[in-house]
Amino acid sequence: MGDFTNSTVEFYPKSQRGSGAVSRGSDASHSGGFGVTLEELRVLMELRGAEALQKIQDSYNSTEGLCQRLKTSPTEGLSDSPAGLEKRGQVFGQNFIPPKKPKTFLQLVWEALQDVTLIILEMAAIISLALSFYQPPGEESEVCGKGTGGAEDEGEAEAGWIEGAAILLSVICVVLVTAFNDWSKEKQFRGLQSRIEQEQRFAVVRNSNVIQIPVADMVVGDVAQVKYGDLLPADGILIQGNDLKIDESSLTGESDHVRKSVDKDPMLLSGTHVMEGSGRMLVTAVGINSQTGIIFTLLGAGEGEEEKKDKKGKQQDGAVENNQNKAKKQDGAVAMEMQPLKSAEGGEVEEKEKKKANVPKKEKSVLQGKLTKLAVQIGKAGLVMSAITVIILLLYFVIETFVVERRVWHPECTPVYVQYFVKFFIIGVTVLVVAVPEGLPLAVTISLAYSVKKMMKDNNLVRHLDACETMGNATAICSDKTGTLTTNRMTVVQAYIGDQRFHEIPDPSQVNAKTLEVLVSAIAVNSAYTSKIMPPDTEGSLPKQVGNKTECALLGFVLDLKRDYATVREQIPEEMLYKVYTFNSVRKSMSTVVRLPDGSFRLYSKGASEIVLKKCAFILDAGGEPRSFRPRDRDEMVKKVIEPMACDGLRTICIAFRDLSANPEPDWDNEAEIVTELTCIAVVGIEDPVRPEVPEAIRKCQRAGITVRMVTGDNINTARAIAAKCGIIQPGDDFLCLEGKDFNRRIRNEKGEIEQERIDKIWPKLRVLARSSPTDKHTLVKGIIDSTVMEQRQVVAVTGDGTNDGPALKKADVGFAMGIAGTDVAKEASDIILTDDNFSSIVKAVMWGRNVYDSISKFLQFQLTVNVVAVIVAFTGACITQDSPLKAVQMLWVNLIMDTFASLALATEPPTESLLLRKPYGRNNPLISRTMMKNISGHAVYQLTVIFTLLFAGEKIFNIDNGRKAPLHSPPSEHYTIIFNTFVLMQLFNEINARKIHGERNVFDGIFSNPIFCSIVLGTFAVQVVIVQFGGKPFSCAPLNVEQWLWCLFVGVGELLWGQVIATVPTSHLKCLKEAGHGPGTDDILDEELAEDEEEIDHAERELRRGQILWFRGLNRIQTQMEVVSTFKRSGSFQGAVRRRSSVLSQLHDVTNISTPTHVVLSTANATGAPGNPSGEGLP
């Protein structure tokens, strides 16, 4: 790291150089009156191990010396005077990393304008505008044929520009709506982000009191308490530690845990995880000056330069990449030219790069995959239809004009003909616009954003949007017991002390005084000093438990025995503890060594009873004297004491001690030798009552086709008792309850390797896994996910709170972390945080997930009906009458109500309990079921019948002028207005039909519980009235009279009646109907994974990530890589540093575009490098 030391400072973006964030206090006076400068601290934090100790020794004499210079006390911490804290913030920086600037509204508008279809429309409109101002000389009109028919008077000719202008206007409308949606989505997401950040708090010592403060409020000089499961929020130096082990893989890439101690390696770095032990650290660097901050800044600086350089290269790239709607149109419109170009260079570089940048990535969400596929299919179909329409129109016109009527093309007629061609082109584009469902990504986004917002109220804080929808498909939930199914308010209710079993808390007089004294000391000293019982907030409520709940139960037991643990802790403060073996998932016990006044040592131990009893050789009898405790005594005790307690659903904890002589001093690192031959003091039974709402929630899950499994560290009897209380296992069912070691024995072969077939024999019946280690949990989750026994792949949700649950949470399809009891590591690995730690909130998440799925299906059912009808009408109309019955501007309006408003209306339907009455859809289930296909085709038949009747016989029915074959620029006819109006009203009523997708009869059910839906339907109707009555030339509408309006309405309401007719037809008889929108096949998933950009992108934009678009960037990237390679050659020494830094990136979620930087510019002076490429791998 040495070569990095001097250059790091130079990495700052210029804007921050002068500001207080990096005050260069290298003047004679030290910065801000502190005895040390920011600069010195940064240099210090670059060092490790012995070097760091040496530096502290040389510069400050000791860590205490550094504390004095930073004006803080290792025991009392800082004083909490706001002025002092403020000053520290100014001198040493604040503990937050400034986020990237959000896109401005104008940028979003610009992105929305990049849409291919919109660009085509804009071009067409501009050409149409230009031509409308050109008036050919009058006398040639005969020569040019029926180009300018006699129907039109002077005023109408003037109005030729209106259509072009109207198209432009409607394009602006669409763009603004899209941009606004993007903008509000971004805003919501940022709000969510900041909520997650505000929730993270950390324990620091101020004025001798330990308080929890938001991480952003930490300052240099704070004394912070670190414990098992913390994610360190700042850099610091260890002042006091117990058996502290840190996982620094996020910074160094080394997976081994690093042991930290005051005398060997005291340097603690931000962004690393505490895997074991506890301690106190002096904060020395925060925010952008901490190790994580420096890396963030590196990336930020890299991006800044990249953008400047990249302006040129971005043009063609941006056009593809940015807009969320482009997804399918791109795919449709560009697919044609793109295929041949996915040449070796573009594709392969891309793929190599993908494989090397192996950032672990969850596979694309199910819904996303299905939608992308469907949208591409629809887009291609639309493209073909629109092309055919244009060709037919052109041929028809050319043949009729030049062949049938034998006219000659006069030069002066060119503008007239071009005007016709432009009109045909606009009709073609209109067909395309209507065919492509650009409302799809919008519906997904709105639906997810709406759900996420509402889920907040249901105590689900969603960190990854797609988790919300995946939850709807969940088939299995592996839940923790403590805190999720139970209240996590532990109390000791039974005890075994001095050969006697007490069924409730004994009176102190019933217990031998000596035994009682040892018991109180053992509990008070051998538990984290951060665990304590506080007086209740309100009169009459229960005392508050702070810290580890099991320890709180034991401390509460001490108070129930009318003793005070605080006095014992005052006599033996934390600094005097000689050695601590902290609790971890392997030991399942905790031991503390104290030095007695006579110089000898006493070890106190507590832990899971069957584990600690195995290490006991003695037990205290009724008189408080130790007697020998043989294996057969132990078996008897297990039978008579531990099993009965466990069968009552109690957790049993054994408390023991051992005296050790001072000379020779024991070898404290040889734990097996020390924690043995213990003397058992007592065994206590701790109750953790089941949450009252859990049994009902589990019943709902089972009804919804979700299997709940309990995975716990408790012993099997306790676990079984609690599982029965919750309803996870029912008498008479065929189920398995296994212990961890049993489970391992069954799933491994002779060589000790895990075999999938073996897991497949177990998991379908497994309901309880007890005494399980974190690896067992991970193995189980992975086994269920990889299993192919069932016809559907299982979708697994996992709950976890401990640091060790991280791997299982990450592996699961949806990971739930506990908001209250969860450690930072668990939250970091999760997709959803349960803010109330309650299992019933998971059921709400399932409900919302299914609701998202259904909302999308409702929208699809509605949208596709409109698409099918509009495309067929435009196509046949154009072919038979040379003019689309629905004009471009009308189509755009239909598109707006169909796409934008309908997606809003249908995507915000609130979930109902009935969603939990069906089985999960499964991953391969089609988006559009047979029932939906029946609805789509049924309604399309009705609408087409009505529209074609009106088109070809409308003038006779209503006794009005015929609107067919009207010449260019003729005024709008009542005939075509009626067709347009009927079409829109049918859509409006069909929107009500679309609210139900499983063939229910009552489509109005719960309609008033969704005010958004009602207001959109009524609003659309009102606007439609205005358009028809006052739209005039721009909308090609002629005002209608009351009778005509009533007929239109009547036909519209017919949709609802027709819906009932369709519902009567049994789907099972319609074998001919195909389902659509299946999940991506396995090959597709592989392609998608290669094509998936490693950046975390918004899900609506995920649609863009199709292999076809990637070659655009491929070309751009080849030149980048050349630059990178040449620069790497120039700056050799830098590579090692990057290699060390690179692995942190796997953890930085918010930093996008790392693994494949589009342009990385490395100047040799301060190589800021491509941090995503460890030592330049992944470069060609």
Q: Any idea which residues carry the catalytic annotation?
A: 480
Residues linked to residue 78 through DSSP beta bridges, in sequence order: 206
Residues linked to residue 707 through DSSP beta bridges, in sequence order: 476
CA dist., res. 821 & res. 550, Å (int) = 12
- Check: CB of residue 90 under 8 Å from CB of residue 157: no
The per-residue DSSP string of 1117-1151 comes to HHHHHHHHHHHHHH--THHHHHHHHHGGGGG-TT-
Q: For 781, list phi and psi in degrees, rounded to 5.
A: -60, -45
**What is the 3-state secondary structure of 823-861?**
CHHHHHHCCEEECCCCHHHHHHHHHHHHHHHHHHHHHHH
Q: ∠ CA(996), CA(1002), CA(1004), 5° rounding?
A: 80
Give buried/exposed letters for 833-865 (b at 16+ CB in 10 A, else e). Answer: bbbebbbbbbbbbbbbbbbbbbbbbbbbbbbbb
CA dist., res. 1132 & res. 223, Å (int) = 40
SS3 content of the chain, % helix, strand, coil (to 5): 55, 15, 30
CA dihedral 436, 442, 447, 452 (to 10 degrees): 150
Q: How many CB atoms lie within 10 A of CB 498?
A: 23
Q: How far is CA 667 from the centre of its chain?
A: 48
Residues linked to residue 1115 through DSSP beta bridges, in sequence order: none
- Check: CB of residue 163 under 8 Å from CB of residue 121: no
Residue with tokens 């290699």: 1139
Which tokens is 613 given?
């009893």
Which helix (H) or strand (E) segment holds residue 477: the answer is: strand 476-479
Q: Beta strand pairing status for 273-285 and 476-479? A: unpaired
Residue with tokens 């005890």: 495
CA dist., res. 324 & res. 1099, Å (int) = 9
Whether the CA torsion 1004, 1009, 1010, 1011 is positive or negative: it is positive
Q: What is the largest CA-CA distance in the chain?
A: 128
CA dist., res. 12 & res. 548, Å (int) = 42
CA dist., res. 85 & res. 956, Å (int) = 85
Integer-rounded Cα Rg, in Å, for the chain is 36
Strands (DSSP E) found in 718-795: 736-739, 766-770
Q: For 804, list phi and psi in degrees, rounded to 5.
A: -70, -10
CA dist., res. 735 & res. 729, Å (int) = 7
Burial label for 371, CB within 10 Å (0-12, 13-18, 19+), is: buried
Q: Beta strand pairing status for 589-595 and 626-628? A: unpaired
**Please, how many CA atoms are within 13 Å of residue 808, restricted to the half-sphere of its CB?**
29
End-to-end C-alpha distance for the chain, whole angstroms: 26
Burial label for 362, CB within 10 Å (0-12, 13-18, 19+), is: middle
Which tokens is 73 given?
């006390």
Which tokens is 683 given?
């065994």
